[in-house]
């Protein structure tokens, strides 16, 4: 991860370029640290998430938001159930959505250090990458980018995507995305349900700066907290996570999931370096 403070914004950049900025145990831990720092810095009013350039042969030199869970790491047993599959939901994603409970100036007198977040999507946001977008306050995407949640095809549950996607897209589109693997391209009318702005690559930096200015107001954090409370009451979150922990434990190491990760490994090894 790269964390930079630029004016009132904390820019958090994924730098796992060899695997298309896919998530693994280390990235999850580093990302939670970056989110903590951004939330605790009282000079920061807005967080910005973006993927850095990658070295993968198919996209070498291009920015990519995230390819989701690292399937090679999953196959090898290096993805932790508690630390990764539960930890990302209860850790950095929950902190981005709800903030940190604390006392002092960073809490703004509310007891919670919560801040709005902007996502800039280059190329694609797959799996966990798309899940992240569901808790952000502004999503800006590159023309030609796409979003997808292929977890059902992979054999697992896409985190809290099943809980959060429906309220953005409606039940029918959510089922198409989660159960059938439908990709949402930026030119698709359904993209307007998930993305605020679609722009040429050259315009993304300016759009992110504009979003930071618009979301840096003193009342934004309080209002986004009330929106989260209305959209996702804490008891609903707890009930979902309790069931998710059981279902995902059954799915993650099942025979069909391991077989699919093995096929993914075989395909990736055929790609020339």
C-alpha angle 38-42-46 in degrees, rounded to nearest 5: 50
Q: What is the pLDDT of residues 168-192, one digit of tens each?
A: 999 999 999 999 999 999 999 999 9
pLDDT at residue 111, as a whole number = 79
166 pLDDT exceeds 80?
yes
Average pLDDT of the chain to the nearest whole number? 92
pLDDT at residue 151, as a whole number = 82
pLDDT at residue 167, as a whole number = 95
Main-chain phi, psi angles of 65, to 5 degrees: -70, -65
65-86 per-residue burial string, b: 16 or more CB within 10 A, e: under 16:
bbbbbbbbbbbeeebeeeebbb
Q: Can you tell me the distance from the alpha carbon of 219 to that of 240, in angstroms, rounded to the nearest whole number?
A: 30
Whether residue 115 contacts residue 45, with contact meaning beta carbons closer than 8 Å, is answered with: yes
Average pLDDT for 146-174: 94
**Kind and range of the H or E element at 11?**
strand 9-14
pLDDT at residue 273, as a whole number = 46
Whether residue 62 contacts residue 52, with contact meaning beta carbons closer than 8 Å, is answered with: no
Average pLDDT for 127-154: 95
Average pLDDT for 102-115: 70
Q: What is the pLDDT of residues 48-95, one digit of tens each?
A: 999 999 998 889 999 999 999 998 888 888 899 999 999 999 999 999
pLDDT at residue 41, as a whole number = 95
């Amino acid at each position: 991860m790269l964390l930079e403070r630029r004016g009132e914004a904390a820019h958090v950049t994924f730098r796992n370029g060899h695997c298309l900025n896919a998530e693994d145990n280390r990235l999850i831990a580093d990302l939670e640290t970056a989110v903590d720092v951004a939330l605790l810095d009282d000079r920061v009013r807005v967080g910005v998430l973006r993927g850095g350039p990658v070295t993968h042969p198919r996209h070498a030199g291009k920015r990519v938001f995230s390819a989701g869970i690292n399937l090679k790491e999953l196959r090898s047993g290096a993805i932790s159930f508690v630390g990764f599959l539960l930890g990302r939901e209860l850790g950095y994603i929950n902190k981005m959505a709800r903030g940190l409970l604390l006392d002092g100036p960073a809490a703004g007198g509310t007891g919670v250090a919560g801040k709005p977040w902007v996502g800039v999507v280059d190329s694609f946001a797959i799996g966990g990458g798309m899940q992240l977008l569901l808790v952000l306050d502004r999503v800006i995407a590159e023309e030609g980018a796409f979003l997808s949640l292929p977890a059902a095809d992979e054999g697992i549950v896409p985190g809290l995507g099943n809980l959060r996607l429906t309220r953005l897209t409606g039940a029918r589109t959510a089922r198409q995305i989660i159960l059938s693997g439908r990709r949402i391209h930026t030119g698709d009318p359904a993209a307007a349900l998930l993305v605020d702005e679609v722009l040429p690559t050259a315009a993304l930096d300016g759009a992110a700066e504009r979003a930071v200015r618009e979301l840096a107001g003193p009342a934004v954090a309080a209002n986004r907290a009330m929106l989260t409370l209305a959209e996702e009451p804490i008891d609903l979150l707890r009930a979902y996570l309790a069931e998710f922990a059981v279902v995902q434990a059954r799915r993650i190491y099942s025979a069909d999931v391991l077989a699919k990760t093995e096929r993914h490994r075989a395909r990736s090894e055929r790609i020339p370096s």
